[in-house]
Amino acid sequence: MSGGKTVLCLPWLVCCVFSGSGNGLAHTLIGSFDTRLGLTGMVAVDNETLIVAGRNFICSINTSASNANETVIQNVTTGLNRTLGFNDVTVAMIYSSETKRFVTCENNYDKCDVRNVYNISQMIASIPFSVKRHETASMILRDGTNDYVFVARPLTACCKDAGLVWYKLDNNFGVEENKKLFRFDNNKVTVITQKFVKAVSVNQFRLFFSQQLVINEGKHVSRVAQICQKTGKDAKYAEDTFVDLPLECGDFRQLEVVEYISQSKLFVAAFTRGSDAAICLYNFKDIQDK
Ligand SMILES: *[C@@H]1O[C@H](CO)[C@@H](O)[C@H](O)[C@H]1NC(C)=O
Ligand SMILES: *[C@@H]1O[C@H](CO)[C@@H](O)[C@H](O)[C@H]1NC(C)=O
Ligand SMILES: *[C@@H]1O[C@H](CO)[C@@H](O)[C@H](O)[C@H]1NC(C)=O
Ligand SMILES: *[C@@H]1O[C@H](CO)[C@@H](O)[C@H](O)[C@H]1NC(C)=O
Ligand SMILES: *[C@@H]1O[C@H](CO)[C@@H](O)[C@H](O)[C@H]1NC(C)=O
Ligand SMILES: *[C@@H]1O[C@H](CO)[C@@H](O)[C@H](O)[C@H]1NC(C)=O
């Protein structure tokens, strides 16, 4: 982090101000990338395997490589036959160590691909749904014996598929149970969801963090939506468990990144306002109970 002031607010509202930057502590893995490529995603597979994606590439990196020449394990070019050129961007990388499924989605392709996480050129299957915007949050998880993919899509130009959709994958990576769409609070026309920051699964809870634009004010606010997944042999999602609540950090309201720390059962979230940033910790119980 650099520039601006960073404030850390704990749940009991003690705030700390950090100054300085992280520069100088870095261990360089890959010194320079072609900046035209754009970086859109990063997934840490294990201690030493990191997968990075962007325009026309998906690259796996060995973070413990002893010299820079051995850092890149594989670098796969994407989109050649799909986009008539090099306009493709890998917009989503969905991975969970639990399902061992690694899914990549491209902005110009109507399917997502299941790849072998340790051999990213090996396509195991293509699954019949698409994720075409980077502002989409997705996750894959196992519930009982089934794997589910969740996709939270913001408003798109065509407006038709904004909302939360989930797919149950069968053993052949087909979509067994069709998508079920949940719309986010759309009655407030002055607030539009522009971006989903993160999808997280905790126990039976499915949480989706998003950023909204308040049109009249030109400001951003943030929300977290929650839905419960009922476990059991016919796992379902109860519409009556859907809750969507505002998220803020002191008087900071524009959520940028969020992570779940499973050991402490806390969410840590960073918000910005101009060049200032604030970081807040949330107890999962606080989010559940609201
Ligand atoms: C990864 O880290 C864990 C915990 O620190 C350790 O137990 C494990 O051996 C490491 N694995 C590799 C491949 O380095
Ligand atoms: C990563 O690099 C370390 C150190 O050079 C090596 O021991 C390990 O086998 C490498 N892992 C992979 C997946 O290439
Ligand atoms: C890395 O590759 C460069 C260019 O191919 C070479 O000049 C250099 O000696 C290599 N470094 C090591 C440590 O192998
Ligand atoms: C990966 O491939 C892309 C596209 O072919 C290339 O432009 C890029 O420099 C490569 N990245 C690395 C780290 O080798
Ligand atoms: C891409 O297109 C070329 C030329 O038409 C073709 O030879 C190649 O098999 C295609 N590759 C894939 C993965 O479809
Ligand atoms: C990776 O997958 C490709 C495509 O399926 C295959 O040709 C290649 O042999 C695999 N590499 C390894 C190291 O298994």
* Residue 289 CB contacts under 8 Å (≥ 6 apart), including other chains: none
Ligand 5 in reach of 83 Cβ (< 6 A) = no
pLDDT level of residue 174 (50, 70, 90 thresholds)? confident
Cα 204 to Cα 59, 179, 277: the distances in Å are 33, 19, 31
pLDDT(14) > 80: no
Ligand 2 in reach of 73 Cβ (< 6 A) = yes
Q: 70 C-alpha to center of ligand 5: Å?
A: 29
- The sign of the torsion formed by the CA atoms of 140, 138, 159, 107 equals negative
| Pocket-testing residue among 37, 76, 83, ligand 4, by greatest number of atoms within 8 A of Cβ | 37
Ligand 3 in reach of 67 Cβ (< 6 A) = yes
pTM over 0.85: no
Residue nearest to atom 2 of ligand 2 (CA): 65
pLDDT given for residue 123 in this prediction: 93
Ligand 2 in reach of 46 Cβ (< 6 A) = no
CA angle 45, 148, 59 (to 5 degrees): 30
pLDDT level of residue 222 (50, 70, 90 thresholds)? very high
- Largest Cα–Cα separation, the chain: 55
pLDDT(83) > 60: no
Residue 221's closest CA among 190, 199, 243?
190
How far apart CA 170 and CA 104 sit, in angstroms, is 18
pLDDT(29) > 70: no
Q: 69 C-alpha to center of ligand 3: Å?
A: 6
| Pocket-testing residue among 27, 48, 63, ligand 2, by greatest number of atoms within 8 A of Cβ | 48
Work out the percent of the chain whose per-residue pLDDT is above 70.
74
* Residue carrying structure tokens 């807040």: 280
